Structure 1
Amino acid sequence: MTKKPPAKRVVFLEIKESIFGDLHLDPVYPIINSGMVTIFATPTDIKVNIGSIEGKVGDLVTIPISFVNVSPYEIETVDMIITYDPTQLEYVSGEAGPLIKEAKLEYGVNKKSDGKIEIFTFDPFMGECYINSDGVLANLIFKITGNSDKTPIKINNASFADRSFNILITTLNDGIVYIHNSEVPTQDAYKFSGYIEPDFLVSTATGPKARQGFIVKLEGTAFYALADTNGYFEIKDVPAGTYNIKISKPCYLTRKITNISVNSDKELSTQSAPISLWTGDVKEDGAINMEDIITISKSFNSNAGEWLVNKINSGT
C-alpha cells in the first residue's frame, strides 16, 4: 500500500491589536508581520471502530476501540471524544489497549461529563513512539443501567496525526450495546398469570371489551402483560423472588398487591375468582370523588354502546 498524497491547508496568523513600550514606557511601533501554519491532511484507509456487545441490565461490559488498516501510516497523536447515553450506560473506567502499551505512548481517558469521554495520546519522546499496526487502542468499561433494546456509542470530534504532525483522515465507525432487559439470569424462571374483572356487571356484548387492556406490571422490573378479552394475563420467564404487583387501566382505580412470592408457576387469581378493579376514577387522580360521580351520572340510563360502555368499560 502506498501513502496517499496529503491535502494542504494553510491557516494564517495575524496580530490585530498590540501595545509595545520601552524602559521608559514610551510607545514603540514595530513592524508586525503575519505568519502562517501549513497543515497537511492525508486521506487514509485507516478505520477507527467502536466494538458492539450484548449484555443485560446490571452487567459490566467492555467496549474496545480499535484501529484497522494502519500500515503504512504511523499514528503519534490521538484526540477523540466518545459519546454515549448516560440514561442507558454508566461509565466505570477506561484503560489503554495493547497498541498504546506497545508504542509506549502517554495517554489519558477522561470523563468530561455524563455522556462524554475524551481519549488522547502523545509521544513524550517527540517522534520516537507511534502506532503502526492494527489492534485495540483502548477499552472502555460501562455498566448497563437502562432497558432500551440498544444504545449507541459514538466517536465525535476525532483527530489523528502522524510523526510529522500531518492530520490523518480516517473512517469512524460507531458501536452499539444491545441490552437484554432481564435483570437476573433466566434459570429458575416461572410463569405468572391470573384473571381480572371489572367491578360491574357486564353483558356478553360488552364483557370482552371491559375485561381487556388491564396492565399488570411487576414493579421495579421490565416484566408486564396486558389482559386479553377474557381478562387473562400471563407473564413468562419471571425469576424467583418476591414482587409487588401493580394493575391499572384508564378510568379504574389502580390496585397494588404486595409481597407476592414466586418460586414456582404462580396463578394470582382464577376465572371463577378473578381480581376485581373498581371503576370510576374518570379523572385518573387516584380517587373516586364528586367530580368523577358527576361525570358518571351523565351516563345513567344509557344503552349499551353509549358513554358508559365506551368510556368506562373500554377504559379509553
Structure 2
Amino acid sequence: MTIEDFIKLIRPKYYNRLTRLLVVSGIALLSKPVWLDILNLFLGGLKLSIIGEFDWLLGLVIIIIALIYNTYHRKLDLEHESKSKPAFQEVQYIKFTYFGNLCQEILPILKDNEYIFLNTGPTCSNDLGPLRTDLTVWEKLKKKAILPNNKAIKKLIKNNFQLVPEKYGALFNKMLLHIDAFKKHVKNPNFDYSEFQFPKQFAEVIFAESFEYAKTNKNLVKKHEWIRKNINEKYVLDWIIFGSIVFTPEKASDLDLAILMHEENDFDQLSTYIEGLKFDFKIKFKKDLHVSIFENTEVLDFISFSEKNPLKIKK
C-alpha cells in the first residue's frame, strides 16, 4: 500500500448516518456532556452520570467502532478501485473460443477510440456544431492512442478471424482496410483515405454480439438474480441493468442500475434502503452498485432513458 492509499484509508469519510451518529455520540461521551452538567446543577449536585466514571471509556469504544466501520469501507474502495489504463494495454492477445469473446475484447478499444474522437476530433460530439479549429490534442492522441488501439484491434481480428461468421467477413475486412488506411494517413496527411472511413456497422455488430454473449455470463446472471431477489417492490416499480456490465461483465468494475420508484415513498426510508442495497451488493460481489433513481412523476423520463439504452437487462 502506498502513502497515498494509506491517507485515503484513514481519511474520514462518512458512508452513512450510522457512522456519523456513532462518532458524534462517542465524542459527546468522551467529553462530559453539557446537558449532564446542567441537569446536575438543577438537581443540586446529585452528580448524575450515564455509566458512572467510565463515560469516557464508552465514548472511546464507540468512536473506535465507528472508525473500524469507516476503515473497512475505505479498504473495500481501495481494493476494488478501477485503475485507468489505455485500452490497448488491457488486451488479451489470445485465440478465443467464441465470436462473443472476440467482440468483448474489441469493444473497450472501440469505446476508447470513440471517446477520443468525440472529445478531441475535428467534429463536435453531436455532429451539429462547428468544426474544431484547435486539433493539437487530437493530433497527439492519434499517434499515442488511436494507432495503438487500431493495431490491437487488427491483431485480435487476425488471430481469431476463423471465429468471424461468414455474414460478417466482408465487414471485418473493411475494418482492417480502414485501420491500414488511417495509419497511412497519420504518417502522410496528404494521403486521402475518404474511401476507407470507419465502418459504423462494425461497431454495431461488436456491441450487439458482446451483449448477446454477456447474457450467458454466469457472474452477470448471478448479479441479475441477486438484484431481482433484493429489490423491494415496496419502493421500486421497475428497473433495468445497463452500462458496461451488460457488454463486458468480466471487465466491468461496477454495475449500473436504473430504478423507477413507486408513487409514495418516504425519502429517508428510501435513502436508507438504497444505501443498504449498495452496501450489500458490494459485500456480496466486491463491486460498486450505481443507482439512477427516477421518481414516479418521471415515468416518461425513465421510459426515454430505457429506450436510449436498447441493449439492457430488464427485471
Q: Give the shorter-chain TM-score range.
A: under 0.3
Higher strand share: 1
Higher helix share: 2
- The structure with the largest alpha-carbon Rg is 1
Calculate the TM-score normalised by the size of structure 2. 0.22
Which structure's relative contact order is higher, taking Cα pairs within 8 Å and 6+ residues apart? 1
Calculate the TM-score normalised by the size of structure 1. 0.22
